[in-house]
């Protein structure tokens, strides 16, 4: 029911924003155009009132200064009609295409851009924990509960509590259950990633829609008997800026968000795969040296070289046998 409501809301909002964007007055949509309109109207009124040439020239100088200012350089790229058509239309289309609960999480995706990927120290934590627990398991000793409770990563902590402390669980069951959890996580993340990816695809399309709208307005104004440069500029601003907004929103916002979420998903999956392999080694009660060699593949190259150098140095000092 909620998804149907979201689809209906998306259609109504999308159509409303696009119609509102089309019908909104051009001179009130763009501050740059609005200022020029006001000044030109002021010049016409001064001439009609019989103002001196010096008074008219002063106003024209103010207009020239405004066109050369940094404010004009910024505001000429800010257009309300374009924002309504592109951003409003793209989000409304998302409400139609996706369940309402996912489409409503757009702000969450923006926040997730600043979330970090799985960092090297988390792989180090898993590596060190598995090696420590492997020593207990190889000696057939029970791993202390406080050590398991101290694991900072909940996925490994839960796996240790559910699979290692219970002897009747088979290796096949461990691999199947943990793999299913990883697949479930990947599927859920793919559903999340699909939303910004979709918005990145439809934003340029709504930009082209705004371009068509702007050209229609431009041609309509240019064909009128009292066509003015300002009126033509209003239509041109919508025609060009909507395309700009569509491309920028897609390439600088939505698609980078999807790429960042994809990288986060991949780093999580690799970490979970490392945990699964470590849990299976612990379940087998493998020798700690075998576990150490195999678990090193999940560490970065620099860390693997560092471990090898430390091992060679320990052998050279007689502290470790090959």
pLDDT above 80: residue 145: yes
Higher pLDDT, 113 or 65: 65
Burial 30-48 (b: 16+ CB within 10 A, else e): bbbbbbbbebbeebeeeee
Question: What local confidence, expressed as pLDDT, does residue 46 receive?
Answer: 79
Count CA within 13 A, CB hemisphere, residue 197.
Answer: 11
Residues of the chain with pLDDT > 70, as a percent, come to 81
pTM beyond 0.85: the answer is no
CA–chain centroid gap for 62, Å, is 43
* Residue partners of 191: CB distance under 8 A and separation at least 6: 102
Which of these, 202, 208, 302, lies nearest to 254 by C-alpha position? 202
Q: Per DSSP, what are the bridge partners of residue 79?
A: 30
The residue among 251, 255, 254, 213 whose CA lies nearest residue 235 is 213
Higher pLDDT, 166 or 63: 63
* Number of neighbouring beta carbons within 10 Å of residue 115: 9
Q: What is the pLDDT of residues 68-106, one digit of tens each?
A: 888 877 877 788 878 888 888 888 888 888 877 777 777
pLDDT at position 61 is 83
Residue 86: the pLDDT is 86
> Dihedral angle at the C-alpha atoms of 148, 153, 155, 161, nearest 10 degrees?
10
- Give CA–CA dist 191/99, Å, rounded: 10
Hunting for tokens 């289309």 — which residue is that? 93
Per residue in 223-256, pLDDT (tens digit) is 555 555 555 555 566 677 888 889 988 998 889 8
Contact 123, 299 (CB under 8 A): yes
Would you state the pLDDT for residue 198? 92
Q: How much is the pLDDT for 224?
A: 54
Q: Is the pLDDT of residue 34 over 70?
A: yes
Percent of the chain past pLDDT 90, that is, above it, reads 3
Q: What is the mean pLDDT of residues 198-218?
A: 83
* Model pLDDT for residues 274-316, shown as the tens digit of each residue: 888 988 888 888 888 888 888 888 888 888 787 777 777 766 6
Judge whether residue 109 has pLDDT over 60: yes
């Amino acid at each position: 029911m909620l998804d149907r409501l979201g689809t209906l809301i998306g259609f109504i909002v999308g159509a409303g924003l696009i119609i509102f964007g089309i019908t909104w007055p051009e001179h009130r949509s763009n501050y740059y155009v609005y200022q020029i309109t006001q000044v030109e109207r002021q010049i016409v009124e001064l001439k009609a009132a019989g103002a001196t040439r010096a008074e008219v020239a002063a106003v024209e100088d103010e207009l020239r200064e405004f066109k050369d200012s940094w404010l004009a350089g910024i505001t000429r790229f800010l257009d309300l009609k374009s924002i309504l058509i592109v951003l409003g239309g793209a989000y409304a289309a998302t409400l139609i295409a996706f369940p309402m609960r996912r489409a409503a999480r757009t702000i969450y995706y923006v926040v997730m851009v600043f979330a970090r990927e799985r960092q090297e120290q988390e792989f180090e934590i898993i590596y060190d924990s598995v090696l420590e627990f492997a020593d207990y398991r190889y000696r057939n000793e029970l791993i202390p509960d406080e050590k398991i409770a101290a694991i900072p990563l909940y996925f490994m902590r839960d796996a240790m509590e559910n699979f290692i402390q219970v002897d009747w669980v088979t290796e096949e069951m461990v691999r199947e259950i943990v793999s299913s959890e990883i697949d479930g996580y990947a599927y859920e993340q793919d559903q999340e990633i699909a939303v910004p990816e979709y918005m990145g695809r439809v934003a340029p399309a709504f930009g082209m829609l705004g371009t068509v709208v702007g050209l229609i307005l431009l041609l309509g104004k240019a064909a009128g008997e009292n066509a003015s440069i300002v009126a033509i500029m209003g239509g041109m601003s919508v025609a060009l800026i909507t395309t700009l907004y569509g491309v920028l929103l897609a390439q600088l916002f939505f698609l980078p968000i999807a790429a960042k979420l994809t990288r986060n998903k991949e780093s999580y999956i690799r970490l979970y795969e490392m945990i699964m392999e470590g849990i299976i080694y612990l379940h087998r009660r493998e020798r700690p040296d075998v576990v150490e060699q195999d678990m090193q593949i999940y560490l970065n190259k620099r860390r693997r070289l560092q471990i090898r150098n430390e091992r060679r140095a320990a052998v050279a000092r007689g502290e470790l046998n090959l």
